[in-house]
Amino acid sequence: MSSKRVKLTTDEFVKEAVGIVSKASEKGVVLRILGALGVYIHSVDKPGVLDIYEKLGRFKGEGLVFTDLDLMAYSKQRKEIIELFEKDLKFNYDPYVKALFAGRRLIYYHPAGLYHVDVFFDKLEFSHDIDFGSKPGKGLLELDYPTVSLAHLVLEKLQIHEINWKDLVDLSVLFYSHNLCSLEGVKTRECIDDDLISSLLSDDWGFWYDAMLNIAKLKDMLRGKLAEGAIGRDIAERVLDRLDALVRRVESTPKTKKWIKRSKVGTSKPWYRVVEEIER
């Protein structure tokens, strides 16, 4: 994991990120924000969210620390994205990544060295895959703006085989500040689409296995923080209830033949991809 940090305040970084997505949109290019910043942008306006970040220790006396800007795009617009970053924004590209991974990923550096940008095309390919499609109007990036959808922010965290504490905090924030769409009774950009999540997890046993483990880890963390007095029962119970509801939704969704076949192999063979961080 990169030790570099964004050299901007949280508010400044949000403004920069949303500005890039907005500029892309003006040119007809679809870009959406992923990761911790996406979680923050989608949740910070909800009551009590900043307090949860504080109580769970995400601030650590230094503000909310970000390491980079992660963006998802469509490969059909790769040429336009290169033009946006290199000609319009005057960012510097990473020649190694551009030469070897340009079809899947690009890395750019802010001209003043304030932060770097990871642009992913079509899918996230880390411990497990999350596919967004490859063409504007035909994929899933347009479900939300300026971030990917809440369901995809959740999936991005749940797919991590070796999940860390910051990711568990981000999941806590997501589930505290947003209800499941099935519990709301209507699908909007402000609820977590548990149908989308359960559909993906019911087709991919390995993803399902790690997601269930990560939900269990999140529950343990919340119960521990409750026992310590770091968070109140109202916070813990809200998140725990929504996690339980998501698990019930996933478990009640019929599994595909592919899922069932892979489940019989279990953990006797690797069920996740080993992720190697690109050194910058």
Tell me, what amino acid is at 203? D
Q: Give the model confidence (pLDDT) of 228-255 as tens digits.
A: 999 999 999 999 999 999 999 999 999 9
Phi, psi of 240 (to 5 degrees): -60, -40
Structural domain contains residue 160 = yes
Structural domain contains residue 192 = yes
Q: Spell out the residues 6+ positions from residue 205 whose beta carbon is closer than 8 angstroms to its own.
A: 255, 258, 259, 260, 262, 263, 271
Lowest model confidence (mean pLDDT) among 3-12, 148-157, 237-246, 255-264: 3-12
Mean pLDDT highest for which of 58-72, 97-111, 248-262? 248-262
Sign of CA dihedral 212, 214, 220, 226: negative
Q: Record the tokens describing residue 252, joined without a space.
A: 């009640």
Phi, psi of 2 (to 5 degrees): -65, 140
Helix (H/G/I), strand (E/B), else coil: 130: strand
Give the span between the Cα atoms of 14 and 41, in whole angstroms.
7
Structural domain contains residue 225 = yes
pLDDT value for 64: 64
**How sure is the predictor about 58, in pLDDT bands with cuts at 50, 70 and 90?**
confident
In whole angstroms, how far apart are CA 99 and each of 14, 86, 92, 230?
Answer: 29, 15, 14, 47
Q: Give the model confidence (pLDDT) of 162-193 as tens digits.
A: 999 999 999 999 999 999 999 999 999 999 99
**How sure is the predictor about 102, in pLDDT bands with cuts at 50, 70 and 90?**
low
Structural domain contains residue 279 = no
Report whether pLDDT(49) > 50: yes
Yes or no: say if 17 and 69 are a contact pair by the CB < 8 Å rule: yes
Q: Which residue from 34, 40, 122 is spatially nearest to 73, judged by alpha carbons?
A: 122
Structural domain contains residue 3 = no
pLDDT value for 97: 86
Please state the rounded mean pLDDT for residues 244-269: 98
pLDDT value for 1: 37
Q: What would you report as the CA-atom Rg of the chain, rounded to the nearest whole angstrom?
A: 19
Chain CA centroid to CA 61, Å = 24
- Domain hosting 68: range is 10-268
Structural domain contains residue 85 = yes
Q: Torsion angle of alpha carbons 211, 249, 253, 263, nearest 10°? A: 30
Yes or no: say if 230 and 55 are a contact pair by the CB < 8 Å rule: yes
pLDDT value for 61: 53
Question: What does DSSP assign to residue 118?
Answer: E
Question: What does DSSP assign to residue 65?
Answer: -
pTM of the model: 0.95
Please state the rounded mean pLDDT for residues 129-143: 96
Give the span between the Cα atoms of 75 and 73, in whole angstroms.
7
pLDDT value for 277: 65
Sign of CA dihedral 66, 17, 173, 212: negative
Question: How many structural domains is the chain composed of?
Answer: 1
pLDDT value for 147: 98
Structural domain contains residue 50 = yes
Checking phi first, is residue 185 left (phi over 0); if not, alpha (psi -120 to 50) or beta? left
Q: Record the tokens describing residue 173, joined without a space.
A: 């924030």
Mean pLDDT in the chain?
94
Helix pair 257-265, 205-228: axis angle to 10 deg: 70
Lowest model confidence (mean pLDDT) among 59-63, 196-200, 265-269: 59-63
Structural domain contains residue 219 = yes
